[in-house]
């Protein structure tokens, strides 16, 4: 299917729609950080707080876990600025509801960093396994939570979500962790990942084989969406959907520089795909959808079905200067529409996949001179005020403005 991208308005509509679909009726989640509505309990956490306190702005709690333990549907946990470095991971096991999610967010515009360096398995020993409960600086097994404007670093995974549905991960930064930045697994449905930045994640215990920027894998559940993510310089893949059995929708997302050994890990084995859209010991079919997304300078493929025998839909997306194939869909019966491949080692591998209006349908050879702009500085720089990727004509063809992805 074709995708007509219309800039800031289109992005705002998708972002609002995703949030409304997952958390309808949650006006309280956007309430002032200094006051709560009659229907909402607000709990405040601060680095100079005390868990014996009442949890108000004037008398905050000290630990995020104490606030999580007190939360009920509709609670807003607001975290004052600073670095929180607990010795064990934060366990999120309670549930909100669709109409009254539980929200964990930074207070106002203050910067909150959750540092997992003091937790076990940072890093784990080579070839070791991390017990499931220890995965993630933030370990999520609860439904109907909102996580907003938090930075999570140096964890055994930044966020590990298991059998967790109806959650919103909004404007998070997950960087420099000892496994994937955000990992969703098991029976997990209707999650929205919005404007995530996930980078520099690596896994010394597996020589780079499994640390992705974002992974939704080894599970099933419909309605999962990724909107506006940036996934870069991770040891394994930017995005990984290994053995996830249900369709995932990805929009307005960029993946670059994945699969290189920035950390001098021995016996390095990172895969290095921008978007890995399947795979498994017995490859299961899953009809993922990718719209208006970019992959560039990854060590392997830009976009790949990775053995997924399903029927994927890839439209208005761009692969540029990837180390292997721009669009690798020779194991599936996918449909590719209006995509752009430029200066990859191989432009495309289709097998039984089909499509129309792609760069390889228009002409056989594309070079950088065909593009309006080959500087990624705007895409990789500061986000726009609304959290979306800033406007730019990066990788937009001069003579075919409706071909490939655009953040204009």
What residues are labeled active site?
Answer: 276
Q: How far apart are CA 294 and CA 272, in angstroms?
A: 14
Rounded distance between C-alpha atoms, residue 301 and residue 298, angstroms? 7
Q: Tell me how far apart the alpha carbons of residues 404 and 389 are, in angstroms, rounded to a whole number.
A: 16
- Element spanning 231, H or E: strand 230-232
Which runs of consecutive H residues, i.e. helices, occur in 118-269? none
229, containing H or E segment: none
Q: What's the burial of 234, exposed, middle or buried (CB within 10 Å: 0-12/13-18/19+)?
A: buried
Return the number of other C-beta atoms located less than 10 Å from residue 378's C-beta.
15
Q: How far is CA 165 from its chain centroid? A: 15
* C-alpha to C-alpha distance for 142 and 126, rounded to whole angstroms: 30
Maximum separation of any 2 CA atoms in the chain, in Å = 69
H/E element, 144: none
- For 16, phi then psi, to 5°, come to -65, -40
């Amino acid at each position: 299917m074709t995708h007509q991208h219309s800039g800031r308005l289109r992005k705002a509509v998708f972002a609002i729609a995703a949030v409304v679909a997952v958390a309808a009726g949650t006006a309280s989640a956007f309430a002032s950080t200094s006051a709560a509505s009659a229907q909402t309990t607000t709990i405040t956490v601060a680095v100079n707080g005390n868990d014996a306190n009442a949890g108000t702005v004037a008398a905050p709690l000290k630990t995020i876990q104490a606030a999580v333990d007190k939360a009920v549907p509709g609670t807003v946990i607001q975290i004052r600025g600073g670095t929180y470095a607990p010795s064990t991971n934060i366990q999120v096991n309670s549930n909100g509801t669709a109409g009254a999610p539980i929200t964990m967010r930074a207070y106002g515009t203050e910067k909150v960093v959750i540092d997992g360096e003091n937790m076990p398995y940072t890093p784990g020993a080579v070839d070791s396994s991390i017990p499931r409960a220890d995965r993630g600086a933030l370990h999520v097994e609860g439904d109907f939570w909102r996580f907003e404007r938090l930075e999570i670093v140096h964890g055994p995974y930044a966020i590990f979500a298991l059998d967790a549905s109806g959650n919103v991960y909004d404007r998070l930064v997950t960087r420099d962790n000892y496994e994937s930045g955000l990992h969703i697994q098991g029976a997990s449905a209707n999650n929205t990942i919005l404007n995530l930045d996930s980078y520099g994640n690596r896994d010394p215990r597996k020589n780079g084989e499994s640390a992705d920027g974002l992974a939704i894998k080894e599970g099933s559940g419909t309605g999962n969406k990724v909107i506006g993510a940036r996934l870069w310089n991770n040891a394994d893949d930017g995005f990984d959907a290994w053995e996830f059995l249900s369709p995932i929708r990805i929009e307005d997302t960029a993946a670059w520089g994945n699969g290189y050994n920035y950390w001098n890990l021995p016996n390095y084995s990172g895969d290095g795909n921008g978007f890995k859209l399947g795979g498994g010991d017995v490859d299961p079919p899953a009809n993922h959808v990718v719209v208006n997304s970019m992959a560039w300078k990854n060590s392997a493929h830009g976009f790949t079905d990775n053995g997924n025998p399903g029927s994927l839909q890839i439209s208005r997306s761009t692969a540029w200067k990837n180390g292997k194939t721009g669009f690798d869909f020779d194991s599936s019966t996918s449909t590719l529409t209006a995509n752009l491949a430029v200066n990859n080692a191989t432009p495309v591998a289709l097998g039984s996949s089909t499509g129309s209006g792609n760069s390889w349908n228009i002409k056989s050879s594309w070079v950088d001179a065909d593009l309006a702009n080959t500087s990624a500085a705007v895409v990789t720089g500061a986000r726009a005020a609304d959290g979306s990727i800033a406007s730019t004509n990066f990788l937009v063809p001069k003579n075919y403005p409706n071909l490939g992805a655009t953040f204009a």
